[in-house]
């Protein structure tokens, strides 16, 4: 209650209210659900001015996307996101000069990203695999570029971003099969300890799923992985599943209570999947999770995946896995994959490149 009282006091002059009315109270009911009165949450003082502007501008796109999402026209939604990100892709290419070459690896379409200044001697025997975000619905060759270009340029390393199969045309485990096919092919040229895998949102979950599939295929584990804006078991549970949408200006109609463990989303890609299968949710299996390589987890305080990301970090460290958790204040889901100019985005890519530089090739 003290924090709510503080916020009310701090906003007293800026946001008026009827002082004669009875102050609304926070109520915790018999189920443990917390009923909150209407409150005003200022933008965090720890966020950058650029991040504040980004949040405001993001609302304009979300309003358009939400209105059109009801059409269930996946082609239209993919085109809209691709068009929205084109200016950001051009800007990313300006900030981080790279070359991109289409390539079929293991029968799967990929884009191979290399730094224009050349691969560093330290990274000549290394490669990173990027698994793009997009809810297992879209993002190929667009979000993948946004996630790969900065890492390749800053890390002076080759990045292979995979155009894996998505829903609704395909269902689980199509994407996992594609990742393992590419990984198996790269093992012919790279040592497993020199290969890293990472992705954001759907790509973050797919990274965890890919590690589980690599185990099932009895292939050697990669040298390190990055699970960003996601977890080893989805992103739609915990406190942040309810709070984060509100803190980014989105209305939510959720009224059911979150399950005790993170779940995958209701993406059509998982329509026929068993959510308890460790190949879908590796976090369900301590045996699978304990064999994870060093793992970098990236999230933010207004990310719907915050709770599940933190939960994943807790489980990994309990099992003795070398895991790092980095949380950015005031930022929304996947902020660094869509706005390259944010100071926070540049911080994320610095952390990512340093993490893989430290872990790849380690004994």
- With respect to residue 40, please indicate whether it lies within any of the assigned structural domains: no
- With respect to residue 44, please indicate whether it lies within any of the assigned structural domains: no
Range of the domain at 203: 49-359
Tokens coding 36: 């909150």
Q: Tell me if 117 sits within 8 A of 186, measured CB to CB.
A: no
Burial of 93 (0-12, 13-18, 19+ CB in 10 A): middle
Q: Tell me if 245 sits within 8 A of 304, measured CB to CB.
A: yes
- With respect to residue 42, please indicate whether it lies within any of the assigned structural domains: no
pLDDT, one tens digit per residue, over 286-344 is 999 999 999 999 999 999 999 999 999 999 999 999 999 999 999 999 999 999 999 99
22 and 83 share one domain = no
- With respect to residue 8, please indicate whether it lies within any of the assigned structural domains: yes
Q: Tell me if 88 sits within 8 A of 57, measured CB to CB.
A: no
**What pLDDT is attached to residue 245?**
86
234 and 352 share one domain = yes
Kindly state the percentage of the chain with pLDDT values over 90: 70
**What pLDDT is attached to residue 264?**
63
The whole-angstrom separation of Cα 92 and Cα 84 is 14
pLDDT, one tens digit per residue, over 72-82 is 788 888 888 89
265 and 209 share one domain = yes
Q: Is the pLDDT of residue 61 over 50?
A: yes
188 and 263 share one domain = yes
Q: Tell me if 181 sits within 8 A of 104, measured CB to CB.
A: no
Within 8 A by CB and 6+ apart from 82, the residues are 138, 142
206 and 96 share one domain = yes
Q: Is the pLDDT of residue 119 over 50?
A: yes
pLDDT, one tens digit per residue, over 15-48 is 444 444 456 789 999 988 888 888 889 999 999 9
**What pLDDT is attached to residue 72?**
73
Tokens coding 8: 């009310």
Residue with tokens 């009282």: 5
Q: Is the pLDDT of residue 262 over 80?
A: no
pLDDT, one tens digit per residue, over 161-204 is 999 999 999 999 999 999 999 999 999 999 999 999 999 999 99
The whole-angstrom separation of Cα 94 and Cα 92 is 5
User: Which strands, in side-by-side order, build the sheet including 158-162?
Assistant: 98-105, 108-115, 158-162, 127-131, 195-200, 224-228, 295-302, 323-332
Task: Quote the mean pLDDT of the chain.
Answer: 88
321 and 248 share one domain = yes
Q: How many domains does the chain have?
A: 2
215 and 287 share one domain = yes
């Amino acid at each position: 209650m003290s924090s709510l009282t503080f916020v009310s006091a701090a906003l007293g002059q800026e946001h008026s209210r009827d002082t004669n009315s009875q102050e609304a109270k926070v109520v915790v009911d018999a189920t443990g659900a917390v009923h909150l009165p209407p409150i005003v949450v200022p933008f965090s003082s720890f966020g950058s001015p650029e991040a504040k502007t980004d949040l405001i501008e993001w609302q304009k796109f979300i309003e358009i996307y939400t209105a059109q999402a009801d059409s269930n026209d996946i082609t239209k939604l993919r085109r809209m996101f691709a068009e929205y990100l084109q200016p950001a892709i051009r800007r990313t290419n300006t900030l981080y000069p790279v070359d991109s070459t289409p390539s079929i690896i293991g029968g799967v379409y990929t884009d191979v990203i290399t730094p224009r200044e050349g691969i560093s001697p330290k990274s000549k025997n290394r490669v990173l695999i990027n698994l793009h975000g997009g809810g297992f619905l879209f993002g190929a060759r667009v979000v993948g570029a946004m996630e790969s270009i900065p890492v390749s340029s800053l890390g002076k390393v080759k990045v292979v971003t995979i155009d894996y199969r998505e829903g609704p045309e395909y269902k689980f485990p199509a994407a996992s099969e594609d990742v393992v096919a590419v990984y198996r092919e790269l093992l012919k040229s790279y040592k497993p300890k020199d290969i890293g895998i990472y992705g954001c949102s759907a790509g973050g979950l797919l990274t965890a799923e890919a590690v589980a599939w690599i185990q099932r295929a009895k292939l050697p584990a990669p040298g390190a992985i990055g699970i960003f804006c996601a977890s080893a078991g989805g992103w739609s549970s915990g406190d942040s599943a309810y709070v984060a949408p509100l803190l980014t200006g989105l209305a939510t109609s959720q009224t059911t209570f979150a399950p005790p463990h993170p779940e995958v989303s209701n993406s059509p890609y998982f329509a026929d999947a068993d959510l308890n299968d460790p190949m879908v949710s590796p976090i369900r299996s301590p045996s699978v999770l304990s064999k994870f390589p060093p793992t970098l987890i990236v999230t933010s305080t207004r990310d719907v995946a915050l709770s599940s990301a933190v939960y994943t970090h807790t489980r990994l460290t309990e099992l003795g896995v070398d895991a790092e958790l980095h949380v950015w204040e005031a930022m929304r889901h996947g902020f660094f994959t869509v706005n390259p100019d944010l100071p926070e985005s540049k911080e994320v890519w610095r952390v990512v490149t340093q993490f893989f530089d430290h872990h790849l090739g380690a004994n």
